[in-house]
Amino acid sequence: MDVLFHKDELGYHQRITEIIHADYDHVYRYLATKQISDWFPQLSFQQIDDVEMLVFDMGEDEPAIQFDILDNQMNQEIKFQWGEGVVRLVLEPTENGTLLTLEERMPVSQRLEQTANDFVGWYFQVLNIRTISETGEPAPLDMVDFMALEAETLEILENL
């Protein structure tokens, strides 16, 4: 997995690329259909006032957050709001399966700790997309690994 970070006037950016050994139509179904909940249980697509939205629901008596879907190109790309930021997932067929590229931008106004948390969360979700696309089962989340990568990511962002 390749991960790059940079900062500009729009915010902090993360770009992750990963080869998934599965057909890109198969991978796309996990990204842009109701199957999104198979690997990211808190996310779902819902019709709200006749508009399809991406809904993030942590449960625990917290209100669900609705995100606008900015672009959804069948079998190629999905782009959506993520808080004050934007997440874009792009698929390209390769000889070995599918190249997944995740691009995330978070505003400089957001606390840097939250940006690091968001970036690491999506890093692990890319691993999860790969695992479920290749095996049919989501990957378990190791919180020790998550916290270690979050601290490393925060340090990288502080030095951009």
The answer to the question of residue 155 being in a domain is yes
Domain containing 106: what range?
2-39+75-159
Number of domains in the chain: 1
What CATH number is attached to the domain comprising 99?
Answer: 3.30.530.20
pLDDT at 74 exceeding the cut of 90: no
Q: Name the DSSP letter for residue 159.
A: T
pTM of the model: 0.93
What would the pLDDT profile of 17-26 be if each residue is shown by its tens digit?
Answer: 999 999 988 9
pLDDT at 60 exceeding the cut of 90: no
Task: Please tell me the predicted confidence (pLDDT) of residue 142.
Answer: 93
Torsion of CA 110, 53, 129, 88, to 10 degrees: -50
What would the mean pLDDT of 47-57 be, rounded to a whole number? 92
The answer to the question of residue 138 being in a domain is yes
Work out the burial of residue 39: count CB atoms within 10 Å of its CB; fewer than 13 is exposed, 13-18 middle, 19 or more buried. Answer: buried
